[in-house]
Structure 1
Amino acid sequence: MFPMRPFAIGLSAALAVAILVPAAVISAPKEEKGKPAAIDAKARETGMKEAPAIIQASGAGCTVSDARFIGEDKKAGAKYYEVACNEGMGFAAIAKKDAAPQVYPCLESSQPGPDGKVGGLACLLPGNANSGAGLAPYVKKGGVNCDIENTRAIGSGAKNSYFEVACKGGSGYIVQTVSPMNINGEVAVNSCLLYEEGGNVSCKLTNRQTQLNVVDTLNGAAGVNCAIKDKRYILSTKSDNYFEVACQDGKGYVYQQTAATGAFARAIPCAQAGFVGGGCTMTDAVAAQTEQAGFYSKLATKAGFPCDVEKYGMLPTNDPKKEIVELKCKNSDVGGIAVFTATDGKVFDCVTAELNGYRCSFTKKDNQYARLTKDLVGFNKTSCTVSDARIIGATDSEGFVEVACSDGLPGWVLGYPLGVAKPAAKEFLSCVQAKGIGGGCKLPTNKTKS
């Protein structure tokens, strides 16, 4: 999902810059035992005078509330500052003549190096005492509820800054935002589970087992009576996270969790979960699918579409009370799209399915031509054997199919009512009459002169 390795190399270099400030240029505040280091009044005066313009030029999202001058490296032509910001996250800044300012979030510049010591750009202003709290607005903007317990800087590249946050309860996230940090820029907050443990970009403040504890909470909300034998993370989309559970009784489910709120969305039996990251791997999905195919055979027959289901595929739906399933029938070239609820069901053949917003993948397009030819006969057009077809448009109540004839003569447009599982064609138009529908006929033998 993410180009992790190349990015991580850039981060290491960025963090090193903050550490390698020459010690000789640093004006260290005086420390008193048991008290925070006192900020030199002159350093603060110089900082408040010079730093705001530098921060503004950097593009960082910061209204300076406090600042201090850290020091100057005359040989390198560099001046160093720390600023605290009304927005929360403060920065360490490097200003060089004839060069764009460099800024580092305090969470990054204050992070200890491999030797356990912080570098010369560590933030010391009172307003930066809890720099990790400055990530809260970014986490919120990323659409995630997290009571932040701990934070860590991963680093900054040329375009992005990356951080880790650990939340109370065990969940954790990688926060990605623009560099320099600016709350008005883009923000993405992704679950730690998206990243491999031990990778250059990974979560270190929480462990994977703790992160998976959320599955126990989802299991309680699912109401499927599953005593969990095993569990695993599958994948995340922009809006949802997916986890697999294997139950002691041999059953298995995929739990869908709403990413923004962490709330349980739905439980998908393993027999229906093939569309989620390849489906279940911890239970006998083949046996479950065979059993489910028999169940769909009964439902389809009850809905007036006799079908000994050989193969089925789940289509995504935002309605947890509805299943949308493509069916392939044994010893038949004709399949369909079924819409099942707890109380009823309907099955669209592949022509009318597409009119209603679904597309068959198991059934070849030309297997539908016989049905369309038969519908033409109903309008006394017996000379046209359909050789091609396409959906050309729809109104709120009617969908239109353009058909071409095998004899090469001009074809026709058939209109069907929407929402009906086995509709009879209700309208019959020539391509001239259908010019105003979805741009008119476009199949090669049907093109009309303007």
Structure 2
Amino acid sequence: MRPFAIGLAAALALGALVPAAVISAPKESKDKPKVDAKAREAGMKDAPAIMQSLNAGCTVTDARLIGLDKKTATGYYEVACQDSIGFALIAKKDTPAQAFTCLESNAPAADGKPSALACILPGNENPKAGLKPFVAKAGVACDIENARAIGSGAKNSYFEIACKGGTGYVMQTTNPASAAGDVLANSCLLYEEGANVSCKLTDKAAQLAIVDTLTAASGKTCQVKDKRYVLSTKTDNYFEVACADGKGYMLQQTAAGGALARTIDCAQAGFVGGGCTLTDSVAAQTEQAGLYTKLSTKGGFDCQVEKYGMLPSPDPKKEIVELKCKNRPDGAIAIFSTGPAVIYDCLFAELNGYRCSFSKQDSMFPRLSADLKAYGKGSCEVSGVRLVGRNDNEGYFEVACSDGLPGWVMSYPVNTPNPKSKEILACSQAKGIGGGCKLPTNASKKS
């Protein structure tokens, strides 16, 4: 995911929007500003309806009238919201009201003086805490340490949030900001420093400190030499780490919990953002191919691995790998773990829930032809195959013969590497198995 440009207004000097004749900016004082009872009464009378008109998802719990400009029929209010950030409001007669979060309205004026629209209600004392519902809606792990308003566009508002531990996000929500609407949080590492949208509350070094934590959790022996942010998806963040011994890994972190989800060797990480760039991934892939050659041979499948591909594994202690071989046309699906390897050639991989992509279907034909020959059906050179189905104990393949004569249905045990055929049935005998034979040369003939 790359940084994107968005049109937004700069942080507003909101105090400039309030005529001096209406209100003066609060004076600096060690004491907290007091909320006038009459101002609160007037605010609670008018502000809830204004907020409702904005569809900002704010249930008003407190409000105050900041000031009135009778010449322009404009009222200025502050509201505190239940389970959301508070707002400063500008409501002019016969004109849609405007709402600015307290993070925006608290920003000093252009001359450095306090804003005339600064939030002072008790419920708005800590505006950044009002972003907690937004963080929860975005689904990221962040204990907010600091926050600021970046700006707003016609439809969206943007905030930076800094989290305890050094991570940070740019958060996008609706304008006015509402946790009831869409909320998206992207890692600060996605944005270039000094860009239109960027992070100022954290730096890159602090952001990348998480890589050390994730590396330690991986269980890999790795003295961190270099590290980088790679990309984010809706559910995960990816980082690359290079180790002093020349090895490297891609670290997958859950966006919601912030924990390490998976450690991927650079030799296997080509599917993540173009793969590793801090280490020699070609050398790593060559080394890994050599390892898989040894493991597959030891597991009883003679394969000089030319190419390999990783498949999702439900068990982090197991690798499920498709193998393409230099020395044979038929590949395999191999399951490597601390115990003996389990290897299914591409024919029986499909029977056991895997599908090969490197090997062509016709590479399976010699194996099937040999099994037919063992049953005295050597006149059939297999020219087509279809997986009919399986149950808990066995699976069925329909085969067609190259001479155009009727083919067969062959049964094999499941969950068994290199299985022997249990039974061979003529298509006329197999009508009750998965609807019978359907390959073109079998469907129109009786055997």
> TM-score normalised by the shorter chain: which range applies?
0.7 to 0.9
Per-residue deviation at 1:244?
A: 2.0
Per-residue deviation at 1:101?
A: 4.2
Residue 241 of structure 2 aligns with an amino acid whose one-letter code is V
Per-residue deviation at 1:174?
A: 2.3
Q: Which residue of 2 aligns with 1:236?
A: 232
Residue 227 of structure 1 aligns with an amino acid whose one-letter code is Q
Pair 1:49–1:220, CA change in 2 (3 A): same
Q: Distance in 1 between matches of 2:28 and 2:260?
A: 52
Q: Which residue of 1 aligns with 2:17?
A: 21
**Structure 2: any 5+ residue segments left out of the alignment?**
none
**Maintained 8 Å contact 1:413/1:431:** no
Equivalent residue runs for 1:89-128 within 5 Å: 89-95=85-91, 101-112=97-108, 121-128=117-124
Pair 1:331–1:37, CA change in 2 (3 A): same
**Maintained 8 Å contact 2:147/2:159:** yes
Q: Distance in 2 between matches of 1:385 and 1:99?
A: 82
Per-residue deviation at 1:328?
A: 0.9
Q: Which residue of 2 aligns with 1:311?
A: 307
Q: Which residue of 2 aligns with 1:190?
A: 186
Equivalent residue runs for 1:380-395 within 5 Å: 386-389=382-385, 391=387, 395=391
In the superposition, the TM-score normalised over structure 2's length comes to 0.83
**Structure 1: any 5+ residue segments left out of the alignment?**
none
Q: Distance in 2 between matches of 1:113 and 1:396?
A: 73
**Maintained 8 Å contact 2:321/2:335:** yes
Per-residue deviation at 1:316?
A: 3.0
Q: Distance in 2 between matches of 1:375 and 1:50?
A: 86
Q: Which residue of 2 aligns with 1:81?
A: 77
Secondary structure of the structure 2 residue equivalent to 1:4:
coil
The one of 205, 211, 219 equivalent to 1:209 is 205
Does residue 1:58 correspond to 2:54, yes or no?
Answer: yes
Bigger Cα displacement from structure 2, 187-196 vs 402-411: 402-411
Q: Distance in 2 between matches of 1:405 and 1:121?
A: 84
Per-residue deviation at 1:276?
A: 2.6
The one of 150, 153, 170 equivalent to 2:149 is 153
Equivalent residue runs for 1:324-335 within 5 Å: 324-335=320-331
Per-residue deviation at 1:321?
A: 0.3
The one of 291, 296, 305 equivalent to 1:300 is 296
Pair 1:426–1:204, CA change in 2 (3 A): farther
Does residue 1:270 correspond to 2:243, yes or no?
Answer: no
Pair 1:276–1:42, CA change in 2 (3 A): same
Q: Distance in 2 between matches of 1:89 and 1:280?
A: 41
Bigger Cα displacement from structure 2, 386-395 vs 61-70: 386-395
**Percent identity for Structure 1 against Structure 2:** 61
Which is greater in Rg?
A: 2
| CA shift digits 1:107-139 (9 cap, x unpaired) | 234345776566654433232121111112322
In the superposition, the TM-score normalised over structure 1's length comes to 0.83
Secondary structure of the structure 2 residue equivalent to 1:238:
coil
The one of 171, 174, 184 equivalent to 1:175 is 171
Does residue 1:358 correspond to 2:361, yes or no?
Answer: no
Does residue 1:135 correspond to 2:157, yes or no?
Answer: no
Q: Distance in 2 between matches of 1:154 and 1:440?
A: 66
Q: Distance in 2 between matches of 1:274 and 1:354?
A: 24
* Alignment root-mean-square deviation, CA: 3.6
**Maintained 8 Å contact 1:112/1:118:** yes
Pair 1:334–1:100, CA change in 2 (3 A): farther
Per-residue deviation at 1:335?
A: 1.1
**Maintained 8 Å contact 1:61/1:87:** no
Pair 1:399–1:135, CA change in 2 (3 A): farther
Q: Which residue of 1 aligns with 2:140?
A: 144
Per-residue deviation at 1:194?
A: 2.8
Per-residue deviation at 1:229?
A: 1.7
| CA shift digits 1:226-281 (9 cap, x unpaired) | 22221222223333332222222222222333332332344333223333322222
Residue 183 of structure 2 aligns with an amino acid whose one-letter code is V
The one of 21, 25, 35 equivalent to 2:31 is 35
Residue 83 of structure 2 aligns with an amino acid whose one-letter code is E
Pair 1:41–1:252, CA change in 2 (3 A): same
**Maintained 8 Å contact 2:2/2:190:** no
